[in-house]
Every structure is written in structure tokens, then in C-alpha cells.
């Protein structure tokens, strides 16, 4: 039996306004090579200065991931030569990172799995190489140094993952956490969150050979790359081939990994202390103050929704993992109540309509007052849940109030038992065959008779009364009464 062993190295771009060691802007999307200076270009004589806000963001994220904080940490030079690294080295943390020994718990198949985090260290980003065509076959590339020197927090996990699904779940939660904290946008398409994967496969307790996969641009790509690489290594071992320690590139179109280069060893980087930066020394009160700023995090919020509000697990996570969704949902529930019903209406009807129209929740006009009106009609039995769904959608599409829609369309439910009974009797008269089938034991035709009754009532019959009266009239017929 083969066992996959998988670890992640995640680079999170910290949402500061200036770079890690200089005052250049970190604004995304501006013309190439316009946010550069002697420091981030590594020109002789330029000296780095630590960005305090980046350190605060790093501490906040380390706390959220249950890490211990090193009150004294150090910066090193990590030497490697690549066109998008202007200095020929990267300033990073090495032996004493900002945070260490953390963990994050993820829900998997109804259970909780703990993923251990080895370290979290702050560093500067490289520039961006823009390859023409496939990276493994490109004849030339462009380089944009705007990103060079942008502050990063690198999160290195232990190899606790066993599948692509687990990695996907971890990254989804991590992105939600950084957005809740406000330390990063977490947008992979903008390079604000990047992930490298280390994969090995072993059998009978033998240690496998680690292969690194780079250039993964979505969580789905991470999952696909892991699943492919595990299968590739198993097949290679079965054929008697040796797995090479190397760095591979994931090909999005083919869904395969391809060799890029032989994997560097730590001594290849020739780490040595950064001579232009003193140790980063933190005050305990400063660190504690940052910890107090951490809000309720998404996975904790999801648990509260489940245990306190009774929301089903998948709904709870969908709402809690998106801060905008959670803020909207909690505002409605705090003012109106009905958490389970609000969750259902929000996820099924409101989000469904927004997605269909390509709109964001920021554009939503159906808020607290609209839900108050809606539950006034629902709680008093004046409209049904099905009618409420239509009212919500029409209110969002046309900008009308719940009251305007309900009253102008005459949607108030029929609750007069005599009126419903008369309609039921007529329906039974018109449908003698289904009635006979029901009386002979084919109970499934009851739904058909309900549907016919609701059709005659134009969908406005109160469902509970329709079912009750239909049962009563069918029971009479079963006892020999005549219509």
C-alpha cells in the first residue's frame, strides 16, 4: 500500500502600502517597472529598512495559525541567481523565523484533521517573469520588477497532507483567514497567494523522494497537481524506476507535471546573516496587543453557526468562510432571528440569483427591513415558503418592497377551510382514477392530488390545510361516503 506524503509552502503577499525594505508602492496592475528604487533593485550602497506594518501583519497571521512567536528573529541572505531576482539574493528569515510550531484544523469527511505548521517567516518577493509560451519551452521572457521587494509571509507546513482534497480544504480556510485578518487579499490571480507543493510516495515505511511542484495558479490546480503527481510516482515505482529529487512545473492544459530543474539543496543557497539588518526584537506587550486585534476567525465562526444556530455544516462553512457573507448573515439574524431560514434563503435563493446575474453581494438591496417584512408574512401564515422564495427574487430584480409584491400580486395564502374543502371536493370529482388508485393502496398519487388542488387555488392554498383537508376527504371516501 502506497502512502502519499505532502507538504505545502505558501507565500502570502502582505497588504502593506509599501514594500518590505523600501518605500516603493505595492499597488498591483500598474505599468511594469514603475515601482522601483535602488533598494528593491539591489543597487550598490542602497540599505534596507524593515517595514513595521509588515511585521505586525506577520505577527497577526502567526497568532491566527496558533504559532509561537520568536521575540527575537533574524534576517538572512538566500543566494540564488535567477533573472527576476535583481540582487542575486533574497532577504528572508532562516534559523529564527517570526513564528513557529503552529497548526490549523480542517474539516474532512465529518472529522477534524490537524495540519501542523513548521514555521512562518517574513521575506521579500522576487520580480515577476512573464514567459512567452510554455515555461519549459519559452524562447524569451519579460521581467517586471514592480513585485520585487513586496513583503511576504511564507507558511511552511509539515508533510501532514495525504491527498489533494486535504490541501484544497487547507488553502480555502487559510485564504479565508488572511482576508478576515485584513493582512492580504489572498487573490491567487494577482499573485497575492502562491503555493508550492512537495510530494513523495512511500511503501512499507520506506521514505519516499520529495518532488517539488511550482507554478500553481489556483486551488484546483494544487489539487490536480497533487493527484497527478501521486499517481505518477506510484506508477514509476511499480515500473522499477527511481524518483528524482527535482522541481516540476504543472501544465494546466494537460493536467500533468513536467521537469523544470534538479531540486536545490539548502547549502546551494549559501545562507548567511544579512549584514545590513539588525535582529528584529519585539516587545511582549506589542505582540500581545496585536493578538487582541484578531477577530473571530472563519472556522470558529462556522462551529458557532452549527452548534449555536443549528445551521447545517456545509451551509455554515460557506457563509463563515466569506467575510461579506458572514457580515450580511449575522446582521440579518441579529435583527430578525430565524437563522436556519435566513441561511436557506440566502444561499439558495439570494446567492443563486446574484451568481446568475454576475453580481456581487455588495450590490444586494434585500436587507434587514426586507427580511422583517418577509417573516411578518411567513410567521403569520399569510404566505408560504415557496411564495417567499419568489418574492425575494422579484424584490431583488425589480427593487420593490416585500409588501408591494405580496399585495399587488394577491399572494396572501388562502386559509379559509371551507373554500379549500370545496376545491378539494371538486378536484376529487374530476380525478376518479387517481382517487381509486389511492383508495386501493397507491398512496403515491396523493402528491398528484395535492398538486391539482394547489393548481386550482393558484398556488395560494396553505399547504398544511390542503394536506389536512385532502386527507379528511379521501378518508371519508374510503369509508364509503359519496362525493
The CATH class given to the 417-478 domain equals mainly alpha
* Residue 208: predicted pLDDT: 85
With 70 as the cut, is the pLDDT of residue 136 above it?
no
Q: What is the pLDDT of residue 34?
A: 96
Domains of the chain, by residue range, sit at: 2-287, 298-408, 417-478
Q: What are phi and psi of 402, to 5 degrees?
A: -60, -45
- Considering the chain, what percentage of its residues have pLDDT values greater than 90? 65
Q: How confident is the model at residue 1 (pLDDT cuts 50, 70, 90)?
A: confident
Dihedral Cα 27, 28, 34, 35, nearest 10 deg: 40
Q: Mapped to the 3 state alphabet, what secondary structure does the chain carry?
A: CEEEEEEEEEEEECCCCECCCCCCECCCCCCCCCCCCCCCCCCCCCCCCCCHHHHHHHHHHHHHCCCEECCEECEEEEECCCCCCCCCEEEEECCCCCEEEEEEEEEECCEEEEEEEEEEEEEECCCEEEECCCCCCCCCEEEEHHHCCCEEEEEEECCCECCHHHHHHHHHHHHHHHHHHCCCCCCHHHCCEEEEEEEEEEECCCCCCCEEEEEECCHHHHHHHHHHHHHHHHHHHHCCCCCCCEEEEEECCCCEEEEEEECCCHHHHCCEECCCCCCEECCHHHHHHHHHCCCCCHHHHHHHHHHHHCCCHHHHHHHHCCHHHHHHHHHHHHHHCCHHHHHHHHHHHHHHHHHHHCCCHHHCCCCHHHHHHHHHHHHCCCCCHHHHHHHHHHHHHHCCCHHHHHHHCCCCCECCHHHHHHHHHHHHHHCHHHHHHHHCCCHHHHHHHHHHHHHHCCCCECHHHHHHHHHHHHHHHHCCCCC
Stronger pLDDT, 266 or 79, i.e. the higher one: 79
Phi, psi of 246 (to 5 degrees): -150, 170
Banded model confidence at residue 132, pLDDT cuts 50, 70, 90: confident
Evaluate whether 316 touches 306 at the Cβ level (below 8 Å).
yes
Place of cell 523600501: 22
Please state, for a pLDDT cut of 70, what percent of the chain lies above it. 96
Per-residue pLDDT tens digits for 391-418 = 999 999 888 899 889 888 776 767 777 8
* pLDDT greater than 60 at residue 460: yes
Burial classification of residue 108, based on how many CB atoms lie within 10 Å of its CB (0-12 exposed, 13-18 middle, 19 or more buried): middle
- Is the pLDDT confidence value at 467 over 90? no
Average pLDDT rounded to a whole number, residues 307-316 = 96
Q: To 5 degrees, how large is the angle CA 49–CA 194–CA 69? A: 50
pLDDT higher than 80, residue 168:
yes
Burial of 389 (0-12, 13-18, 19+ CB in 10 A): middle
Amino acid at each position: 500500500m502506497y502512502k502519499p506524503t505532502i507538504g505545502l509552502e505558501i507565500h502570502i503577499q502582505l497588504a502593506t502600502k509599501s514594500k518590505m525594505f523600501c518605500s516603493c508602492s505595492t499597488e498591483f496592475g500598474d505599468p511594469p517597472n514603475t515601482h522601483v528604487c535602488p533598494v528593491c533593485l539591489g543597487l550598490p550602497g542602497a540599505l534596507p529598512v524593515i517595514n513595521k506594518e509588515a511585521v505586525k501583519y506577520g505577527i497577526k497571521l502567526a497568532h491566527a495559525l496558533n504559532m509561537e512567536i520568536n521575540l527575537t528573529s533574524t534576517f538572512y541572505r538566500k543566494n540564488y541567481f535567477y533573472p527576476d531576482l535583481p540582487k542575486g539574493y533574497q532577504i528572508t528569515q532562516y534559523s529564527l523565523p517570526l513564528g513557529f510550531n503552529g497548526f490549523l484544523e480542517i474539516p474532512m469527511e465529518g472529522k477534524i484533521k490537524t495540519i501542523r505548521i513548521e514555521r512562518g517567516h517574513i521575506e521579500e518577493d522576487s520580480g515577476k517573469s512573464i514567459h512567452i509560451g510554455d515555461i519549459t519551452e519559452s524562447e524569451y521572457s519579460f521581467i517586471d520588477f514592480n513585485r520585487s521587494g513586496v513583503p511576504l509571509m511564507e507558511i511552511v507546513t509539515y508533510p501532514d497532507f495525504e491527498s489533494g482534497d486535504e490541501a484544497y480544504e487547507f488553502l480555502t480556510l487559510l485564504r479565508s483567514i488572511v482576508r478576515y485578518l485584513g493582512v492580504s487579499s489572498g487573490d491567487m490571480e494577482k499573485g497575492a497567494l502562491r503555493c508550492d507543493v512537495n510530494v513523495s510516495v512511500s511503501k512499507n515505511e520506506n521514505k519516499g523522494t520529495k518532488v517539488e511542484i511550482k507554478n500553481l495558479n489556483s486551488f484546483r490546480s494544487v489539487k490536480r497537481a497533487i493527484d497527478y503527481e501521486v499517481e505518477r510516482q506510484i506508477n514509476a515505482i511499480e515500473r522499477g524506476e527511481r524518483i528524482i529529487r527535482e522541481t516540476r512545473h504543472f501544465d494546466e492544459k494537460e493536467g500533468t507535471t513536467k521537469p523544470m530543474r534538479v531540486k536545490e539543496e539548502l547549502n546551494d543557497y549559501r545562507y548567511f546573516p544579512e549584514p545590513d539588518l539588525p535582529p528584529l526584537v519585539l516587545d511582549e506587550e506589542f505582540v500581545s496587543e496585536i493578538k487582541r486585534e484578531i477577530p473571530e476567525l472563519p472556522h470558529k465562526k462556522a462551529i458557532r453557526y452549527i452548534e449555536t444556530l443549528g445551521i447545517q455544516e456545509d451551509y455554515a462553512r460557506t457563509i463563515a468562510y466569506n467575510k461579506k457573507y458572514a457580515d450580511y448573515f449575522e446582521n440579518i439574524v441579529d435583527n430578525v432571528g430565524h437563522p436556519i431560514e435566513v441561511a436557506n434563503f440566502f444561499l439558495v435563493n439570494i446567492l443563486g440569483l446574484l451568481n446568475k446575474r454576475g453580481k456581487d453581494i455588495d450590490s444586494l438591496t434585500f436587507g434587514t427591513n426586507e427580511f422583517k417584512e418577509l417573516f411578518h408574512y411567513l410567521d403569520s401564515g399569510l404566505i408560504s415558503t415557496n411564495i417567499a422564495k419568489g418574492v425575494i427574487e422579484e424584490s431583488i430584480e425589480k427593487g420593490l418592497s416585500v409588501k408591494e409584491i405580496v399585495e399587488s400580486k394577491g399572494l396572501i395564502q388562502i386559509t379559509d377551510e371551507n373554500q379549500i374543502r370545496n376545491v378539494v371536493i371538486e378536484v376529487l370529482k374530476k380525478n376518479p382514477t387517481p382517487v381509486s388508485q389511492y383508495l386501493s393502496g397507491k398512496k403515491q398519487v396523493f402528491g398528484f392530488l395535492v398538486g391539482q388542488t394547489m393548481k386550482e387555488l393558484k398556488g395560494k392554498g396553505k399547504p398544511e390545510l390542503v394536506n389536512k383537508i385532502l386527507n379528511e376527504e379521501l378518508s371519508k371516501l374510503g369509508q364509503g361516503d359519496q362525493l
